């Protein structure tokens, strides 16, 4: 048990002034929310050590009447990493672990493993060598059960980091998944129990909790992009296996309390020095990331965005003057259409007085998505054309004819590889993870790849079946052949 925790006596009712939410933010939401397609948004603003504005708009689930409020819990996505980092720092200050310990010192399964000598500091700062792709692959592994996190990390013991430690900075969920298991082993408590008892409760985050494998009706429902609209996610259960990197569920009002604690300069759930260490560059290899927080030295801010299927979030603090803002949206972004970035960034900019010019038209992204969506339609039309022009296809001959028949198969196979492998890799996730966050994008990639190859194969099938005999080969005399067959059938020998 932690011996250094100080219970923060912060009352939510006392922290939110009676004044109405900031009018400029509300006016901005009027214009930006429809374009985002988000069913609901909640926000809170911190200044002078208290919550100075909080508000919400929309519904917790499309089609239902339950309105979102500043007390509605949202999945916060990667904002959760700051909670995991804070818990690790608590264990450091308690003398249970050290930042430069190799993980094999505390997780026996990593002894002699490829990542065994990676340090806690390197995991916290994303300089361990694990890649973005390795981290995002974990989104498809949720199998449930109280040992879900343990099993997920056990599966990483034989995985070699993509790079040498401290060779480069690369964001990876794998780092924080391992840290979550470290917290469980060192504290002898399930991850969710430790975070709730050691951080959420002391801070006063009464409407927040950690993913525990259950469905929570109090939560807002996530909505994923679906061809210029958004549809509710079907799986609303929380997942223990990804809790350390994305499983803290919190309300905007509660996250305002959390930011106040991080900027109060006091020794409470963590020492003031420990908090400051989290919010400055972790090393030369990590100049823009501390422990669980991105750092923007030009703006003087620390921040973290979050994305989990159906939710997108943003928490930003300016420690120099104690201001901060958090924005929670229960809608994921599409490609060009229904993106929530402008909604989240615009509210934050108004709250903190930052310059922000919006995201622009996003026409290149929209054109890309429209093109991908129309590609399967184009291939289906081409299949119909190939069938109606089958005589011409069957007449192809010579080198040029064979080339025109076989070359499309080569190009469509390459295009299928691009859509099913290269594009997801460029997006930093396997196709299964892309489909979780953007099911419409996943569908058009698969449909485009499959219909392209089917079209090319269909042309070959048409070309090499049903061909008429060559013009210089005399056709058999049908009547004569029939008589020949009759004579044989009656036992009459041919003459």
Residue 481 lies in a domain: no
Query: Domain end: 296, 322, 352, which one?
Result: 352
Domain for residue 7, yes or no?
no
277 with 402, same domain: the answer is: no
Whether 289 is in a domain gets the answer: yes
CATH for 59: 3.40.710.10
Residues 419, 340 share a domain:
no
Q: Of the residues 325, 352, 379, which one is the last residue of a structural domain?
A: 352
Given pLDDT bands bounded at 50, 70 and 90, which one contains residue 143?
A: low
Residue 445 has pLDDT above 60, yes or no: yes
CB-based contacts of 435, cutoff 8 Å, min separation 6: 441, 442, 443
- pLDDT score at 140: 44
At residue 144, the pLDDT reads: 75
Q: What percent of the chain has pLDDT over 70?
A: 89
Give the rounded percent of residues in the chain with a pLDDT score beyond 90. 85
- Residue 397 domain boundaries: 363-464
Q: Are 192 and 274 in the same domain?
A: yes
Indicate the pTM of the whole model.
0.87
Based on the fold, state whether residues 310 and 427 are members of the same structural domain.
no
- Answer yes or no: do 270 and 336 share one domain: yes
Which pLDDT tens digit goes with each residue over 155-214?
A: 999 999 999 999 999 999 999 999 999 999 999 999 999 999 999 999 999 999 999 999
- Does residue 462 carry a pLDDT above 70? yes
**422-434 pLDDT per residue, tens:** 999 888 889 999 9
Please check whether residues 161 and 299 belong to one and the same domain.
yes
Instruction: Look at residue 149 and tell me whether its pLDDT is greater than 70.
Output: yes
The answer, yes or no, to whether residue 11 has pLDDT greater than 80, is no
Do 222 and 93 share a structural domain? yes
**296 within domain boundaries:** yes
**Residue 160, pLDDT score:** 97
Residues 348 and 371 in one domain: no
Written in H, E and C, the secondary structure of the chain is CCCCCCCCCCCHHHHCCCCCCCHHHHHHHHHHHHHHCCCEEEEEEEECCEEEEEEEEEECCCCCCCECCCCCCEECHHHHHHHHHHHHHHHHHCCCCCCCCEHHHCCHHHCCCCCCCCEHHHHHCCCCCCCHHHHHHHHHCCCCCCCHHHHHHHCCCCCCCCCCCCCCCCCCHHHHHHHHHHHHHHHCCCHHHHHHHHHHHHHCCCCCEECCCCECCCCCCCEEEECCEEEECCCCECCHHHHHHHCEEECHHHHHHHHHHHHCCCCCCCCHHHHHHHCCCCECCECCECCCCEEECCCCEEEEEEEECCEEEEEEEECCCCEEEEEEECCCCCCCCCCCHHHHHHHHHHHHCCCCCCCCCCHHHHHHHHHHHHHHHHHHHHHHHHHHCHHHHHCCCHHHHHHHHHHHHHHHHHHHHHHHHHHHHHCCCCHHHHHHHCHHHHHHHHHHHHHHHHHHHHHHHHHHCCCCCCCCCCCCCHHHHHHHHHHHHHCCCCC
Task: Let me know if residue 495 belongs to a domain.
Answer: no
Q: How confident is the model at residue 247 (pLDDT cuts 50, 70, 90)?
A: very high
Residues 255 and 381 reside in one and the same domain: no
Q: Does pLDDT of 244 surpass 50? A: yes
Higher pLDDT, 340 or 4: 340
Co-location of 339 and 402 in the same domain? no
Domain-located, residue 328: yes
Q: How many domains does the chain have?
A: 2
Q: How confident is the model at residue 280 (pLDDT cuts 50, 70, 90)?
A: very high
Please check whether residue 393 lies inside any domain of the structure.
yes
Same domain, 315 and 375: no
Q: pLDDT for 298-322, tens place per residue?
A: 999 999 999 999 999 999 999 999 9
For residues 330 and 410, membership in a common domain is answered with no
For residue 332, the model assigns a pLDDT of 97
Residue 141 lies in a domain: yes
């Amino acid at each position: 048990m932690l011996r250094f925790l100080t219970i923060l006596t912060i009352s939510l009712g006392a922290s939110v002034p009676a004044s109405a939410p900031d009018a400029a933010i509300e006016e901005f939401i009027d214009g930006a929310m429809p374009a985002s397609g988000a069913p609901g948004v909640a926000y809170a603003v911190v200044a002078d050590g208290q919550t100075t504005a909080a508000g919400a708009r929309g519904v917790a689930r499309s089609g239902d009447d339950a309105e979102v409020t500043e007390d509605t819990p949202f999945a916060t996505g990667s904002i959760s990493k700051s909670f995991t980092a804070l818990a690790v720092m608590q264990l450091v200050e308690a003398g249970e672990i050290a930042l430069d310990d190799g993980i094999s010192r505390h997780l026996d399964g990593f002894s002699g493993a490829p990542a065994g000598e990676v340090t806690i500091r390197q995991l916290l700062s994303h300089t361990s060598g694990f890649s973005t792709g390795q981290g995002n692959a974990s989104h498809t592994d949720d199998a449930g059960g109280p040992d879900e996190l343990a099993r997920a990390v056990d599966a990483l013991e034989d995985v070699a980091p993509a790079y040498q430690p401290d060779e480069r900075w690369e964001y990876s969920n794998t780092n924080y998944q391992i840290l979550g298991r470290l917290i469980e082993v060192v504290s002898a408590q399930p991850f969710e129990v430790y975070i709730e008892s050691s951080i959420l409760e002391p801070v006063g985050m009464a409407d927040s909790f950690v993913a525990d494998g259950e469905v929570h009706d109090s939560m807002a429902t996530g909505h994923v992009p679906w061809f210029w609209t958004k549809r509710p996610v079907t799986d609303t259960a929380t997942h223990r296996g990804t809790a350390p990197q994305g499983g803290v569920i919190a309300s905007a009002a509660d996250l305002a309390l959390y930011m106040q604690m991080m900027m109060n300069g006091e020794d409470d759930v963590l020492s003031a020095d420990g908090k400051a260490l989290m919010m400055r560059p972790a090393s030369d290899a990590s100049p823009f990331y501390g422990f669980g927080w991105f750092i923007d030295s030009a703006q003087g801010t620390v921040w973290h965005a979050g994305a989990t299927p159906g939710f997108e979030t943003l928490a930003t603090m300016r420690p120099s003057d104690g201001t901060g803002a958090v924005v929670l949206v229960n809608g994921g972004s599409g490609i060009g259409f229904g993106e929530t970035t402008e909604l989240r960034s615009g509210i934050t900019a108004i709250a903190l007085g930052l310059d922000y010019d919006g995201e622009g038209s996003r026409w290149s992204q929209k054109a890309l998505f429209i093109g991908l969506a129309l590609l399967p339609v184009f291939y289906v039309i081409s299949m119909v054309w190939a069938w109606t022009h089958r005589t011409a296809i069957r007449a192809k001959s010579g080198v040029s004819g064979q080339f025109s028949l076989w070359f499309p198969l080569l190009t469509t196979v390459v295009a299928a590889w691009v859509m099913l492998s290269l594009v997801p890799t460029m997006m930093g996730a396997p196709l299964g993870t892309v489909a979780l966050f953007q099911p419409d994008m996943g569908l058009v990639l698969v449909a485009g790849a499959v219909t392209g190859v089917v079209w090319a194969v269909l042309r070959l099938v048409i070309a090499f079946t049903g061909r008429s005999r060559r013009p210089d080969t005399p056709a058999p005399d049908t009547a004569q052949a029939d008589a020949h067959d009759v004579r044989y059938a009656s036992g009459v020998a041919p003459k």
